[in-house]
């Protein structure tokens, strides 16, 4: 009887693992959600640092999984003042989308735009500016509609840095990422964070990929393909992170 009971438990555990969705998302993961950790750069509050390591192309990349649905609130956006990631008390944090064709090298010839579908053809991925997303704020009524190479609305308000004025950096909020139209594949959107205070711009981050899994047959391969893109060099030289040739895609760590 004991042996049968143990066998039954083992089978249940295997079945649970078999149906559990793979989570490629950027950690800090807390069982059921993940966050992108952000804060002003030490010594230069005009720059927003994002925790993570750049992919092979030098651009940060994070992932989210629709899990069979057409909407997700992952990843979230959070600060961690104790680890040096804080936003000045009272500053507003926003998210905007960038046309990847204007930021990625040879992006125009690769068919990149605001929403970028990665479709596997043979052993390679073909990219096209296809798919429709809506990004909505939970903190107010702002929203942004992305459709291939077309954008309407936005930027989207994430929230105001809260907490005590003597202990800044209190942000932990989520947006609604809604998939409006398109087939099953991996979709990448190039986003950028920025802040303002009293109507004046304060700081911005480098653009980063957020790649969504909508029943892709090879999501890990698509993530690697997005991670290989390089930023267009600035007139004064390569972008700081664009010059990095090595690095892991999306550092992973537990949130507490």
* pTM for the full predicted model: 0.79
Q: Rounded CA gap, 167 and 55, in Å?
A: 33
Which residues are registered as beta bridge partners of 172? 78
User: Which one, of 250, 49, 78, lies nearest residue 158 by Cα?
Assistant: 78
Q: Could you tell me which residues come within 8 angstroms of residue 116 by beta carbon, excluding any fewer than 6 positions away?
A: 100, 127, 128, 129, 130, 131, 187, 188, 189, 190, 226
pLDDT tens digit at each of 256 positions of the chain: 433 443 333 333 333 333 233 333 333 333 345 899 999 999 899 999 999 988 888 999 999 999 878 999 999 999 998 888 999 989 999 999 999 999 998 888 888 999 999 999 999 999 999 999 999 999 999 999 999 999 999 999 999 998 655 555 588 999 999 999 989 999 999 999 999 999 999 999 999 999 999 999 999 999 999 999 999 876 543 333 333 332 333 333 333 3
Answer for the pair 85, 51: CB distance below 8 angstroms, yes or no: yes
């Amino acid at each position: 009887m004991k042996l049968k009971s143990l066998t039954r438990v083992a089978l249940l555990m295997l079945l649970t693992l078999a149906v559990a969705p793979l989570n490629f998302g950027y950690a800090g993961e807390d069982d059921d959600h993940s966050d992108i950790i952000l804060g002003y750069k030490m010594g230069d509050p005009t720059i927003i640092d994002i925790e993570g390591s750049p992919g092979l192309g030098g651009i940060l990349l994070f992932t989210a999984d629709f899990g069979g649905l057409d909407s997700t609130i992952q990843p979230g956006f959070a600060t961690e003042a104790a680890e040096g990631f804080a936003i000045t008390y009272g500053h507003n944090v926003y998210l905007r989308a960038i046309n990847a064709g204007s930021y990625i090298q040879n992006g125009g010839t690769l068919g990149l735009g605001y929403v970028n579908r990665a479709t596997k053809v043979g052993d390679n991925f073909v990219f096209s500016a296809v798919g429709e997303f809506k990004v909505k704020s939970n903190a107010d009524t702002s929203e942004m509609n992305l459709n291939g190479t077309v954008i309407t609305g936005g930027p989207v308000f994430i929230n105001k840095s809260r907490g005590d004025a003597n202990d800044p950096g209190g942000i932990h909020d989520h947006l609604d990422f809604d998939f409006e139209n398109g087939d099953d594949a991996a979709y990448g959107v190039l986003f950028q964070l920025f802040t303002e205070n009293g109507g004046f711009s304060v700081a911005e981050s480098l653009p980063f990929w957020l790649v969504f899994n909508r029943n892709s047959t090879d999501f890990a391969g698509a993530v690697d393909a997005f991670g290989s893109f390089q930023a267009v060099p600035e007139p004064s030289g390569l972008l700081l992170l664009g010059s990095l040739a090595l690095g892991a895609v999306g550092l992973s760590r537990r949130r507490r």
